Structure 1
Amino acid sequence: MSEGSSGPTLVWLRDDLRLADNPALHAAVERGGPIVVAFLLDDESPGFRPLGGASHWWLHQSLSALAADLDDHGNRLILRRGPAATEIPRLVADTGATAVTWTRRYGKAAREVDAALKSALTDDGVEAHSFQGSLLFEPWKIQTGSGTPFKVFTPFYRACLEQPEPRHPYPKPHTVEAPDAFPASDDLDDWALLPTKPDWAGGLRDRWEPGEASAHRTLEQFVHGDLADYGDRDFPAHDTTSHLSPHLRFGEISPFQVWHRLRGDLPESARKQAASFLREVVWREFNHTVLFANPDLATANYRPEFDGFPWAKPQASELEAWQQGRTGIPLVDAGMRELWQTGVMHNRVRMVVASFLIKNLLIDWRIGERWFWDTLVDADEANNPGNWQWVAGSGADAAPYFRVFNPVLQADKFDKQREYIRQWVPEIDTDDYPEPIVDLKESRRHALDAYADMRSKAGL
């Protein structure tokens, strides 16, 4: 980038709500001169998926934390709402910016908006620079020997490890030089991202503290605590997972920071589990690479033969029982209540509740994906549909459809003492607990019959 003496740099934030290891901000600081930092809520451009309720709650808190951090660094967070194609040029005009920087996104609609904007800004004599900041390995760089996207995770993982080591994180700037005058900004409260009637976010407030500082505390707590027991992560009552997923989703911490922290100085007890955890970080990369090649991942089967699957017409009573944790299947109900209360669910249990919806109730995976999109604080445009399709058998490197998770056997194996179940379903041993809404054995047989029917029609 050229020297910034000719005008301010506009740093356009999206899913990178942090000051440290933010390459777009780092480039602006290196350029020199005043910096305008802006977040644009673009939920109007065609192809963009509006955030769900839990994500809106997280976004409000994260933006509040970021605004306070910028104040401490001598600057201010500017908020605007509207399509990027009109709002970014308007911000350029309002600030006299001669350069705009941002972190790259990989969904089709986002790529198209960014490319058109970069072209328009360049035509107007404004520098426009995008940077890699949300993925360790950009999708077009990790391909098979024949130059096609990977469809299976393990060879994708090996290909990532054969790449040069991901760059080291950029430091947090000491100051962020402010312009002589700030442009007009929306008031965050006016965006009405927080629930009010009713206010259902009490459990989220109790469970989470969004923001960059909290993200790094969470990482350090994991490194010095649960990482040593990460091998027990399938046991939901032990809860030895990292709790980093929503922080990564909103870019309060970067995958580069996580990668190098786990490859750095670790407690002796934690070292052997670091590689297992980083493998899960690469699974996140895999889902984003799949999304890059399949932009309709949330709405279309990755495996087209599943287009002929005979889904049942969902019964409102069954779907509501699943959503509300009233199925009469204890592990399923515990997971769905954890989700509603905290905005997350243990990963092992996510697979169980998804399998129950898809295979025991024969309800289309897209219906479950939409519920998770609305209720998860870590709802991600690649991971959410990618993982649902994995369970459904319709996705990349998917579990075979005939693998039906038995929630009773899963509870026997991973929650033998029923600690997790009793935490979320305290009435489990009382007459208040409902009878199962479906027979697990019979519904499994119906699911396998439906799968065989689909394969027959597809000529497989």
Structure 2
Amino acid sequence: MDAALVWFRRDLRDYDHAALYQALSQARRVYCAFVFDRDILDLLPQPWDRRVEFIHGSLVQLAAALEARGGGLLVLHGRAGEEIPALARELGVQAVFANRDYEPAAKARDARVTARLEEAGITFVCPKDQVIFDRDEVLTQGGRPYTVFTPYKNAWLKKLAAPGGDFWLRPYPEQPAGGGQLVPPPRASALPDLAALGFAPSNLAELGIRPGMAGARAAWADFQDRLGRYKALRDFPAAKGVSYLSVHLRFGTLSIRELAAAAWRQGGEGAETWLAELVWRDFYFMLLDHFPHVEGASFKPEFDALVWDDWPEGLAAWQQGRTGYPLVDAAMAQLNQSGYMHNRLRMVVASFLTKDLGISWQAGERYFAGQLNDFDLAANNGGWQWAASTGCDAQPWFRIFNPVTQSEKFDPQGKFIRRYLPQLAAVPDKYIHAPWTLPPLLQRQLGVQIGRDYPAPIVDHAQARARTLARFEAIKGKGKPDAGPGEEG
């Protein structure tokens, strides 16, 4: 074909890029575009948003990379479902290429775009890019989607281990042999500043978060030196144990194939454990794609009958880190200050909201969606439904995290707690996980009065646990289960 348009979305890089490669393979001339989509921007909860600034900084680098290859980037600001078909007609292209998305709203948008393009005789091509396997590539022997993670992971890994299985991890070449070339847009298209988009600068730079491919490269290089220790350190929020790559995976400034291939080649406990986390990512995308009802409802429909508590004050205390449980409050402070939360803590605070406060997982999911730099509907929904025991292969409903036990186990010296709750800095290790147990005299000596300088617990965990068991027993029709080993994890 003569000309094609590549529509960048959550794939803000110019290398190992499925849509870009396919466009260059099939068209003589290739244009590139990105749309600041008003259908998305208008839903954001505040006039400044780290994610918008991250995208903006990433686009600066992407545009420069495309220009260095002879092309350029048209940046539009409007409704993508209208802007892309109009731009495709204006450019006179025969096809639009965009990497596949799995969210219900994105799939509906792409269906509208497809229809409008077809009216003009233009093809819409959506290859796989942001996952290793999708759709029907990993199915049970009965030809159905997996709904339990471990068998899915085993089948996922088996495909890589099969003869020629490294095919799935191979990067796309930058320039197809005998292919087309990037060309600059026919009209000027300056990248709008944040103010023109209706946003203001955030604290992204202050947090040390570097956007774009350069930021991704630096973060990946740093983690590669620590990958072997991932399993040993990943559950301890005070340690530098996790990858910090999630925001780059979310916006595609880094290739999932590159990461999975590196972990697959390296092997060993750390790399294998981290690779399993990438498999979880594919698993949640697969679930959202095959079972889109999970966006607003429980994966297991019987749990939609759960009667959650309507407790605005409790929800606000959780959101603001005022529950009286230090690990929960420190985690929420980390989220509110930085847009990031350690993965172990995401499970702890989600369990606390749903099983200690009795508030619906949907309320927590919505709050995370507004705060997380790396917000991704598939993973966020999957994680919340796992913690709430309403999801696919979820935490058993009778297994309820004890926030004090979790604190003692994963922040034993209270380093993380003190980092985000400086009012507890003077509290000895013995009491840091349950400061309400501080004797009154010691409270006065330390200058930390519970109820004044730091809140008393908003609920009693033992009582809350009993209420949660009763809540689920009403749905499951079972008597209270016997306590099992590790139940209070």
TM-score (norm 2): 0.84
For the 8 Å contact 2:216–2:253, the answer to whether it is kept is: yes
Aligned to 2:484: none
Write the deviation string for residues 54-77 of structure 1: whole angstroms up to 9, x where unpaired. Answer: 433332332233233334434332
**Cα deviation per residue 1:273-313 (whole Å; 9 max; x = unaligned)?**
11111110000000011101221323111111111112111
Does residue 12 (structure 1) correspond to residue 3 (structure 2)? The answer is: no
Identity %: 37
From 93, 96, 107, the counterpart of 1:111? 107
The correspondence for 2:171, drawn from 169, 172, 175, is 169
What is the CA–CA distance in structure 1 between the aligned matches of 2:57 and 2:416, rounded to whole Å? 28
* Match of residue 135 from structure 2: 139
| Structure 2 residue identity aligned to 1:426 | P
Measured after TM superposition, the shift of residue 314 of structure 1 is: 1.7
Bigger Rg, structure 1 or 2? 2
1:296 corresponds to which residue?
Answer: 293
Q: Which has the bigger relative contact order, CA under 8 A and spacing at least 6?
A: 1
Deviation at 1:50, TM superposition (A): 4.1
Instruction: Report how many residues are paired.
Output: 443
Distance 1:204 1:394 in 2: 38
- Aligned residue number for residue 36 of structure 1: 31
Residue of structure 1 in register with 2:399 after alignment? 403
Check whether the contact 1:11–1:101 (CA below 8 A) recurs between aligned residues: yes
SS in 2 for 1:427: helix
For residue 353 of structure 1, the aligned residue among 349, 360, 363 is 349
Contact 1:227 1:242 in 2 (8 A): no
User: What is residue 187 of structure 1 aligned with on the other side?
Assistant: 192
Letter in structure 1 aligned against 2:340: V
Question: Does the CA contact (< 8 Å) of 2:230 and 2:271 recur in 1?
Answer: no
Amino acid corresponding to residue 192 of structure 1 in structure 2: L
The CA deviation at 1:340 is 1.1
Deviation at 1:115, TM superposition (A): 4.0
- 1:211 maps to 212
Q: Distance in 2 between matches of 1:95 and 1:380?
A: 32
Compute the TM-score of the two structures, normalised by the length of structure 1: 0.89
- TM-superposed CA distance for 1:207, in Å, is 3.2
| Greater mean alpha carbon deviation, residues 184-193 or residues 106-115 | 184-193
Q: Determine the C-alpha separation between the residues in 1 that align with 2:175 and 2:332.
A: 41
Q: Deviations over 1:389-421 (max 9, x none)?
A: 000000000001221111111111111111111
Q: 1: distance between equivalents of 2:90 and 2:37?
A: 18
1:311 aligns with 2:290: no
The 8 Å contact of residues 228 and 270 in structure 2, kept in 1 or not, is answered as yes
Report SS of the residue matched to 1:296: helix
CA contact (8 A) 1:60 1:193 kept: no
Equivalent in the alignment of 1:439:
460
- How far apart in 2 are the matches of 1:329 and 1:139? 41
- Equivalent residue letter for 1:231: A
Letter in 2 for 1:277: W
Structure 2 counterpart of 1:177, which letter? L
The question of 1:255 aligning with 2:250 is answered no
Looking at structure 2, the residues matched to 203 and 320 of structure 1 have their Cα atoms a distance apart, in angstroms, of 25
Q: 1:161 to 1:314 in 2, by over 3 A?
A: same
Q: Which runs of structure 2 are paired with 1:25-174 in the superposition (5 Å)?
A: 25-31=20-26, 33-44=28-39, 50=43, 53-118=49-114, 120-122=116-118, 124-163=120-159, 164-165=165-166, 166-172=168-174
SS at match of 1:103: coil
User: CA separation in 2, counterparts of 1:275 and 1:226?
Assistant: 10
CA shift digits 1:60-118 (9 cap, x unpaired) = 33223323333443433212233444211211122222332111112233234334534
Matched residues in 2 for 1:368 and 1:120: separation?
37
Structure 1 match to 2:439: none
CA separation of 1:443 and 1:54: change in aligned 2, threshold 3 A: farther
Task: Say which SS state the counterpart of residue 202 (structure 1) adopts.
Answer: coil
Q: Is the 8 A contact 1:204 1:342 kept in 2?
A: no
One-letter code aligned to 2:218: R
Tell me the residue number matched to 1:453: 474
Moved more, 403-412 or 179-188: 179-188
The more displaced of 174-183 and 395-404 is: 174-183
**Distance across 1 between alignment mates of 2:327 and 2:88:** 52
Amino acid at match of 1:187: P
SS in 1 for 2:207: helix
Residues 79 and 188 of structure 1 are in contact (CA less than 8 Å); yes or no, is this contact kept in structure 2?
Answer: no
Once residues 112 and 363 of structure 2 are traced to their aligned partners in structure 1, the CA distance between those partners, rounded to angstroms, is: 33
Tell me how far apart the structure 2 counterparts of residues 244 and 227 of structure 1 sit (CA, whole Å).
Answer: 16
Q: How far 1:218 sits from its partner (Å)?
A: 1.2
Give the alignment's Cα RMSD to 1 decimal.
Answer: 2.6
Contact 2:66–2:73 (Cα < 8 Å) also in 1: yes
Q: Deviations over 1:155-205 (max 9, x none)?
A: 111111122331411244599632372365662435536446xxxx32664
Give yes or no for contact 1:390–1:399 (8 Å, CA) kept in 2: yes
Q: Which runs of 5+ in 1 are unaligned?
A: none
- SS of aligned partner of 2:182: coil
**Residue identity opposite 2:279 in structure 1:** V
| Matched letter for residue 20 of structure 1 | Y
Q: Name the structure 2 match of 1:394.
A: 390
TM-aligned CA distance change 1:252 to 1:182, over 3 Å: same
- Check whether the contact 1:228–1:271 (CA below 8 A) recurs between aligned residues: no
For 1:11 and 1:19, the matched residues in 2 are separated by 11
Indicate the larger mover: 278-287 or 138-147. Answer: 138-147
Is 2:372 the counterpart of 1:376?
yes
Aligned mates of 2:333, 2:311 — CA distance in 1: 21
Cα deviation, residue 376, structure 1:
0.3
Write the letter of the residue equivalent to 2:186: A
